[in-house]
Structure formats: C-alpha cells, structure tokens
Chains A and B, each alone.
Chain A
Amino acid sequence: MPALAGFPRADGRKGIRNVVAVAYLVECAHFVAHEVTLAFRGEPVHLVGFPGCYPNAYADKMMRRLLTHPNVGAVLLVSLGCESFDKRGLEAEVAASGRPVHTLTIQERGGTRKTLAEGVEWVRWALAELDAQPRVPMRWDELIVATVCGGSDGTSGITANPAVGRAFDTLIARGAACIFEETGELVGCEFHMQRRAATPELGDEIVRCVAKAARYYETLGHGSFAPGNADGGLTTQEEKSLGAYAKSGDSPISGLIKPGDIPPTGGLYLLDVVPDGEVRFGFPNISDNAEIVELIACGAHLTLFTTGRGSVVGSAISPVIKVCANPDTYDRLADDMDVNAGRILHGAATLDEVGAEIVALVQDVGHGRETASESLGHREFILTYKAFEPIGPSCLPLSLPVSLPIRAMPSTQQATP
C-alpha cells in the first residue's frame, strides 16, 4: 500500500478528495448556490463562498486558494451580477489550474429558477468527469496536515492536544508539512516558541506576531477565552494557551505563514491568523470554522480537531478528524468523534499510543476513508472580511517563498510507508 493515494492536479499537488465546489460570490447568490448543492445530497458537492459585496484582498486570495485547493476537482461560481468580487479573475485562475470551471450570473441567466437548473446540470456533468479520475500513489511529503482546537476544557491540554503533538512529530519526520495556528491562543507561549524557531530572526518574528495578537484582543476587550473554558476547569488565557500549544509537538518551527500561504517544504509551520494594522472588521476569527477555512487555504488536506467540551463540526473541502480529549464527552458524543484520547485519563492508553492511532487514521483518510463528520454530512464553511500584510522576509528561512499556487516538492525526501 502506498503512503497515501490522491488525485493528481496540474500544479503538481495531489488531493485526498475530489470535490465539486459550488461558490457564491456575494450573499445575494448564497441561496441559489445552496439550492444547487441540495440536489446532490450525499455526493461530494460542497458549498463555499464570500458574503460581502465590497472588495477585500484577503477574501479574494482566500477564494483563489480554496478553489484551486488539491481536494477540489471542479468549480461552479454563482454570481448575482452587480457584486464587486473579481469573478473573471477567479474564473481565469481556476481554469489555468486545469480544473473544469463554470460561472453562472443570476441577473444574466434569468433569475433563480433558470440559474438553479443550469447549475444542477453543470454539477451533474462535473461529477461524472471527476468520477472517471483514479487515485494515484501519494507520498507523505506531499501531505499538509493542520490542527485546531475548539470547545477546549481542562482535559484538552493533557490528552488530545499532546497526542496530536506526537502525531505531528511523526508526520513531520515522514516529510509532511504540519500547521498549527491561532496566535491569540498562544499568548504566554511566545518565548517557548522563540526557542524552537529554525533561526533567531524567525523567533523574533514569532514573538512580534504573538504581541500583535495580544494587542488586538486587548483592543477588542476579550481574549479567546470562552465561559465554557472556565466551566471545564481552565482559569486563565495563558493556561488555555499552554494546553493549545501542546498540539504543536516538539519539532523545530520551520516558518511563520499567513492565511493562503502554502508551506514550501515539509516541517512545522505557525499560521498567523490575526489581521495586520488597526483593528478592523471585528474579531480575528469568529468561530472555529473560520480558522479551519484559513488552514485549508494554506493547502491543508485534512484537519486534526481536538475538543474537550465536544464540537460536532466538519468542513467543506478538507476532512476533519475529531480527537476527543474528555472521556465523558466521548461517551455522550461518540458518533461525532474519531479518536477517544480521553481514555488516557483512565490509564487505558498512553499519549504515544493515541498519537500513533491518529497517524494511522490520517493514512486511512488519505486513502479515502470517511471521517465521522464526513459520514454525518458536516460541511461547515465561513469566510468574512480581514486585512493582512504579506509575511516578512525572515518568516520562511528554509526556502524562498514560492510563487504560488505551485508548491515546491522536496524531491530528496523518501516517502515512508
């Protein structure tokens, strides 16, 4: 059995899913796009989109990265017609990536009913095209794995998060790129991370980026600390941070990226999700899925989601593996969970054993196995306004930033079975 099995794309990357993405380009086209996907319940047809009518460089970059993501095989764009989104630029970029793409403009097509009928017909055609594509062997160094935590409690930091950290260390040793994020939840860990950075300059960038996050949250008047966190036994932001930080494992930090930047090599990357400049557009990430979408825009093939209180979300485009930290939560929400890391608390497994179980599951999902949230039909998606400056020159010390969307593939690393 090869390490993984994926769908080859023209840019050299491979996808572990072959999804038809239906994308609305303004909220006014959301309903029609959603109706198109409803005709394909149970099939890999996923709804994504951006609700805003005003132009936003971040949203434009995110949509381009998402719709040329390796897990996406074909794209239907649904436009109202008068919104400001650069739909022709987006369409041209998807077409240049070798994917079938089609744009429907509701005002030109003649309204809801006609657009819906044409959209359903096109998606049916696209599904048949994708159905004929076989999987090919895929190496570990072609895989990008992300991690987030949501609904954390006091168990997250002692079971699921360190177990994901062990899994990250194994995946990185095999050549994969792994991404952790939410610098606002790493307040208090900046000097620990600085010591792990590949270069001193990168370490300084990481400290600056966490200081930016702390400032941003201070301006807003709230940390990323929710009342449920305190009910679950967490007392302070830095306590929650240290527990979240355990997801990153022990590997050196290879780079600092921003949403839509694709890791140029294997190794561990920190994603800076807090906007640059003055505080605009509200909270950096209004819910867990906003973070997952940003990780997917960085090329993540799948996301390891640790939860203590119990989240049930999945995602459009890339599968979510749910690692449950709390054994009581696991008992209540077992259908929604993939891994029971809480058994560590009862002495029934070690961190290393759960870490190995996560790596084995990543491999199975990389061969097509459905995760719990996929089998339940979860396909959450959210994208809102943000503003970022490009990453600084010290953020990717191991390689020059590649001209995206092509990810440079390290040819010297051997795939590990």
Chain B
Amino acid sequence: MTPATDPRLLLLNPADNCLVACRALPAGETLLIDGEPVTLPRPVAMAHKLARRALAVGDKVLRYGAVIGSVQRPIARGEHIHTNNLGSDYLPTYTLHDGSRYVLTQHD
C-alpha cells in the first residue's frame, strides 16, 4: 500500500514529483507526504504546488506526468514550488513585481 499523503494535497499522476493544494494551507501546518510529516514554513494558497521530494537544480518538475519546467534553486521536500525556484523550458514567465511593474522573473 502507498504511504499516506494528506487528503488536502492532490497527486495528479503517480509519476509526479509535485502535489497540488486542494485548499489554502496555513503556515505551521504539519502534513503527511508519502507517510512522512512536513511542517509548512509559510502559508500555501489553494492550487499552488508543493515538492513531493527534495529537488536539485536542473531536475524536471512533473505534473500530469508531464514536464512543466526545470528547477532553478534547490527545493526541499514540502517546499512551495513557484516562479522563484522553477523555470520554463520554453518561454520566460512574467509577473507583476509589487503589483506595479511587469517584470521578467529572474533566476540567477
């Protein structure tokens, strides 16, 4: 039997190394991922992704069993995966910096 994962986290495909939050998760919350507990350092909004296991720079992140980009900074198990640590293999991602400026997300 597969080790338990919190029902608030959705595994879209068995091959995936990320999980999707089914609802907003507060900071300090402890969740089981594949049977192992992890405590969230920061809140995670609904539909955002968490790392299912530790990921190194250059690793591909899989969702729907398909690649959604490459890891740009090391990601710990349970850490929020987003524009600060994951980059597209196709096109750059633009975000609104401070809600005011339209900027290219930088990965150095």
Binds B, one of A20-28, A220-228, A374-382: A220-228
State in angstroms the CA–CA spacing of A232 and B12 once bound together.
17
Contact B92 A242 (CB under 8 A): no
Asked if B68 and A217 make an inter-chain contact with CB atoms under 8 angstroms apart, the answer reads no
Distance in angstroms between the alpha carbons of A396 and B61 in the assembled complex: 35
Contact of A235 with B81 in the complex, beta carbons under 8 Å: yes
Check B67 against A238 for contact (C-beta < 8 Å).
Answer: yes
Residues on B with C-beta less than 8 A from A246 are 64
Q: Which residue of A lies closest to B7 (CB)?
A: A347
Q: Is A337 in contact with chain B by the CB < 8 A criterion?
A: no
Q: Does A124 count as interface, using CB distance less than 8 angstroms?
A: no
Number of interface residues of B (CB under 8 A): 33
Q: Which candidate, A151-159, A281-289, A356-364, is the interface stretch facing chain B?
A: A151-159
Whether the pair B90, A236 counts as a contact (CB closer than 8 A) is yes
- What residues of B have a CB within 8 angstroms of the CB of A239 in the complex? 63, 68-69
Q: Point out the residue from A154, A227, A236, A346 that lies within 8 Å of B88, measured CB to CB.
A: A236
Is A223 touching B91 in the complex (CB atoms < 8 A)?
A: yes
- With A232-B47, A235-B83, A238-B89 given, can you name 8 additional A-B contacts, CB distance below 8 Å? A158-B20, A187-B90, A192-B66, A227-B96, A227-B102, A235-B69, A242-B68, A347-B7
Contact string against A for B residues 63-100, beta-carbon threshold 8 Å, 1 for contact and 0 otherwise: 11011110000000000011100111111111110000
Interface residues of A (CB under 8 A from B): 153-155, 157-158, 187-188, 192, 214, 217-218, 222-223, 225, 227, 230, 232-233, 235-239, 242-243, 246, 308, 326, 328, 345-347
Cross-chain contact A214 with B48 (CB below 8 angstroms): no
A-B contact pairs, 25 of them (CB 8 A): A155-B46, A155-B47, A158-B12, A187-B90, A188-B68, A188-B89, A214-B91, A217-B91, A223-B91, A225-B91, A233-B47, A233-B49, A235-B49, A235-B83, A235-B93, A236-B69, A238-B67, A238-B68, A239-B63, A246-B64, A308-B47, A326-B46, A345-B46, A346-B22, A346-B23
Residue B10 is within 8 A (CB to CB) of chain A in the complex: yes
A192 to B64, CA, bound (A): 12
Partner of A233, one of B46, B67, B90: B46
B87 nearest in chain A by CB position: A236
Is B45 among interface residues, defined by CB-CB distance under 8 A? yes
From known contacts A235-B82, A236-B93, A345-B23, infer whether A242 and B66 are also in contact, taking CB-CB under 8 Å: yes
Chain B residues within 8 Å of A157, by CB: 64
A-B Cβ contacts below 8 A, count: 101
Within 8 A of A (CB), among B1-39: 7, 10, 12, 20-23
Q: Which residues of A contact B102 (CB under 8 A)?
A: 227
Complex CA–CA separation, A65 to B7 (angstroms): 49
List A contacts of B10 (CB < 8 A).
158, 345
Contact at A187–B46, with CB atoms within 8 Å? no
Top 3 A-B pairs ranked by shortest CB distance? A154-B47, A239-B68, A236-B88
Q: Are B20 and A154 in contact (CB under 8 A)?
A: yes
B49-60 interface bits toward A, Cβ cutoff 8 Å, 1 = contact, 0 = none: 100000000000
